[in-house]
Amino acid sequence: MIELRHVSKTYRMGDTEVHALRDISLTIGQGEFVAIIGPSGSGKSTLMHTIGLLDRPDKGAYLMNGREVHDLSDNAWAVLRNRHIGFVFQQFHLLPRMTALANVALPLIYGGHADQKGLAHQRLADVGLTDRAHHNPNELSGGQQQRVAVARSLINDPMIILADEPTGNLDSKSKADIMGLFKALNQKGKTVVIVTHEPEIAAQAKRVITMRDGDIVSDKRQGASVAGADSGAADITPLAGDMDVIVPGGIKFFDYARQAIFAMVSHKMRAFLSILGIMIGVAAVIAMIALGRGAQQSIEQQLTSLGSNLLMVRPGSSQSGGVSLGAGAVTRFTFQDVAAIAKLTNTVGNVSPSVTGRAQLVYSSKNWNTQVEGAGTSYEEVRVATPIAGRFFTDEEVASRSKVALIGTTIVTQLFGEDDPVGKTIKINLVNFKVIGVLPSRGASPFRDQDDIVLVPITTAMYRLLGKQYIDSLYVEAKGPDTVDSAQQEVQDVLAKEHHLTAKEAQDSFQVRNMSDIKQAMESSTQTMGMLLGAIAAISLLVGGIGIMNIMLVSVTERTREIGLRKALGANNKDIMVQFLIESVLMSLIGGVAGIMVGVGASFVITFAAGWAVKISIISILVATVFSVLVGLVFGLWPAHQASQLNPIEALRYE
């Protein structure tokens, strides 16, 4: 069944070469019970690992059932280890956080079996441990742990069982029990090869091979051949073909995910820290983007409230000699200016004069200091100020300086509460005014509450309340977006003409501001700020990804022996790599989902606590989630690759 021809294996330790196997030739038949004995360093374990396809020899040939296996791929070797070889290790190598049942079923995962629990229960029954199936290794005695290891080696009904010092860590009774198990298995036709340094254990085998310094110094048979030894010989005909072709495509995705979840649950703190990094990154992305979009939307609302295609005309230049002169420093607007601009019917749709000032409001026992603005009837259309309750004042009321007023929603709340203000009388600077309407809400900014305002006819404001002789500013509405520039130029020309100013003097006397330009500049600024906030948040997500990579690399180091065990039980490079990748992606996905909830919650907290506008975007949530999964995939790739490339025997020896 097994034939080694002139096999040699040399290890290099620094500048020293250790010849573990020296030109070994050996044949083991089906159904034999072989003990390999020798002192420490004699090469017996290396021979066992070579037979078990855990280590490749430097020279020589290895034939299994007459088929050469030395040159097969690592995947092919993984299939052979899983299907045809059962390992029993000296240190048991049971995964500490898995039950005895799960440890026994482990090889079935990499063999693609469906009824894993049923077969595992059956094998535990074979070794007399049915009642300990759901106990972890630390709840089992040494003998019971070794029985679990034997049951695991039998799970795929292998043709050969390899046991490396199976009784080295056991008491006398447990040794006798384990050897009894091996004898019973041999009686059933299984080929058993054990490595031991105890002569009394070797004496129970039918054949004893003695090694020293990498050589076989004796090979003795004891007693008759085992009855029925040739019965049940395994068929490994697939060795004749291309093993890479018949290697199964790996365990099902469910099994990959289950193993990854088990690893995460087994190392809760490590998984939590990884998830925490991604959660913070995703939450920051969502909250920052929501904050940026909220600010952009708030600014857009405030600009929209100014009106469309709007020009603002103010006296004085914006700068004179580097010093701001302020409103009214040079030119003083009059109603003649309003009439002149209104005649520009080709480009101008409406024009409304405006004066502003502060006033004290009183209603019943309540009072409130607010801004008073006087305006013309065109203000309703120019500033999109159609009342949400009541009506706007008329041309007759403007001409007669009527004492009527429209109030903002903030004043409604402060003075009237839940009462309807329309028709009520309020005092503005001790003058009685009738409330005829409520202005639409424009929102608040960090600098000013736009709903804290009283609007009265401009003539009333100038001559009854504020004592002004001149107009503070003009609102000019162009007929359309395509006439804004020409309207701006014509307004400048007509005002210069009305005040007898040259072009240079006009620049220093008044200014005409195009609100469309301001709106574009603000939108551009908020968009840039949003991108900046998103980039900062993305950096935190990137840092979280690096944290996952670091923790996964540490995980590879911590679980080196586990990886070696899984490979010894039949896992190939792909199995190990995909399992680690799924573990990384799962942590990122969980962190992403948690980050979405935290980010949305943080956005609402910002809204209620700071009063800042936020707007949660579904796109930002999707982007953050996809990005978190990609972070897990990208940053988990290198650790997964590192894990998959570990040599099984070196990994099992890792301390």
Q: Is residue 399 domain-shared with residue 537, that is, in the same domain?
A: no
108 C-beta neighbours (distance < 10 Å), count: 25
For residue 444, the 8-state DSSP code is B
Mean pLDDT over residues 557-571, rounded? 84
Q: Hey, which residues does 373 pair with through a beta bridge?
A: 356, 455
Same domain, 239 and 281: no
Both 344 and 491 in one domain: the answer is yes
What does the DSSP assignment read for 527-557?
HHHHHHHHHHHHHHHHHHHHHHHHHHHHHHH
195, 277: one domain: no
Tell me, yes or no, whether 434 and 540 share the same domain: no
pTM for the model: 0.61
Give the structural domain span for 450. 332-500
| End-to-end CA gap in the chain | 34
Q: Going by C-beta distance under 8 Å and a sequence separation of 6 or more, which residues neighbour residue 246?
A: 79, 238
Helix, strand, coil percentages in the chain from 3-state DSSP, rounded to 5: 50, 20, 30
Domain count, the chain: 3
Beta-sheet pairing, 67-68 with 59-64: antiparallel
For residue 318, being part of any structural domain is answered with: no
β-bridge mates for residue 68, sequence order: 63
Q: Does residue 508 belong to any structural domain of this protein?
A: no
User: How far apart, in whole angstroms, are the C-alpha atoms of residue 73 and residue 636?
Assistant: 25
pLDDT band at 432 (very low <50, low <70, confident <90, very high): very high
The answer on 397 and 293 residing in a single domain is no
For 93-107, write each residue's pLDDT tens digit: 888 888 899 889 888
Residue 400 lies in a domain: yes
Q: Are residues 36 and 131 in the same domain?
A: yes
Within-domain flag for 506: no
Average pLDDT value over all residues in the chain: 82
Residues 543 and 397 in one domain: no
87: CATH: 3.40.50.300
Are 173 and 122 within one domain? Answer: yes
Co-location of 402 and 287 in the same domain = no
Residue 273 and residue 346 in one domain: no
With 70 as the cut, is the pLDDT of residue 510 above it?
yes
Please give the C-alpha separations between residue 575 and each of 78, 472, 539, in angstroms, as whole numbers: 10, 78, 32
Residues 194 and 237 in one domain: yes
In a domain, 147, yes or no: yes
Is there a contact between 358 and 369 (Cβ–Cβ < 8 Å)? yes
Q: What is the pLDDT of residues 258-295, one digit of tens each?
A: 777 877 887 788 788 878 878 887 887 788 777 777 77
Structure tokens of 622?
């999707």
Confidence of residue 472 (pLDDT cuts 50, 70, 90): very high
Q: State what percent of residues in the chain have pLDDT above 90.
A: 25
